[in-house]
């Protein structure tokens, strides 16, 4: 097997290219995943806020 070596700029370019390709080829799936992540963050924030206010009562 051939061993490859990448410097940090080359690695950054390869990773960026892979991410862009992922977004382009799987736009709906990525959008759904991001929406779910945002919903989870919002839910966590709401739970923390409710907990905070329950402690003040």
Where in the chain are the domains?
A: 18-56
What's residue 53's pLDDT? 87
CA angle 13, 16, 21 (to 5 degrees): 125
pTM over 0.85, yes/no: no
What's residue 4's pLDDT? 78
pLDDT tens per residue, range 4-16: 788 999 999 999 9
Burial class (CB in 10 A: 0-12, 13-18, 19+), 30: middle
pLDDT tens per residue, range 25-54: 999 998 999 999 999 999 999 999 998 888
Residue whose C-alpha is closest to residue 30's, from 43, 21, 41: 21
* H helical segments located in the chain: 8-25, 27-56
């Amino acid at each position: 097997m051939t061993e490859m070596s990448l410097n940090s700029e080359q690695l950054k370019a390869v990773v960026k290219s892979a991410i862009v390709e992922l977004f382009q080829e799987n736009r709906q799936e990525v959008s759904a995943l991001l929406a779910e992540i945002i919903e989870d963050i919002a839910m966590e924030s709401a739970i923390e806020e409710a907990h905070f206010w329950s402690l003040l009562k």
